[in-house]
Amino acid sequence: MIATKEKLYTFAEYLNYRDSTDNKYELFNGELISMPPASGFHALILRAIFKVLEREIERLQLDWQVMPATVGIRTDKAKSRIPDLMILTAEQCQEIRNMTTAVIEFPPLLVVEIVRPGNADDDYRYKRSEYAVRGIPEYWIIDPIA
């Protein structure tokens, strides 16, 4: 058997990547990392956090938006992450309005990641350092197993 080297993608190639699936991908050091659908438990946690954040933003009358896992963050030259939730200002929401691919290069106010079984290293080590370098002021790790 001959080992083949997997293609490494540039950030521009990642932004334009389309395949025949509905899979979401993160970019990590040029490699496409498939994001499997969340478990039901994960989805329920996500929904609860979304609702709490949205209510609090409304109560405080802030001009912010809670964004679900549909917006990515460029964290390095060949890295892009899709957090479970993030909070953006109204101005930041205006910026993404006309993007053909919603991957931001500015720091959101908050990023929230929910740890999946077998994926804790990503959230606790890699994403934490990537988000810090990006200047994201607040990063929450929700670990339902810990």
Q: What is the pTM assigned to this prediction? A: 0.84
Domain edges within the chain:
38-142
| More confidently predicted of 80 and 58 | 58
Split at pLDDT 50, 70, 90, the class of 37 is confident
User: Rounded to whole angstroms, what are the CA distances from 138 to 77, 121, 123, 129?
Assistant: 22, 19, 14, 12
Q: Per residue in 72-121, pLDDT tens?
A: 999 998 889 999 999 999 999 999 998 888 899 999 999 999 998 888 88
Domain made up of 38-142: CATH architecture? Alpha-Beta Complex (3.90)
Nearest to 103, CA basis, from 22, 26, 38: 26
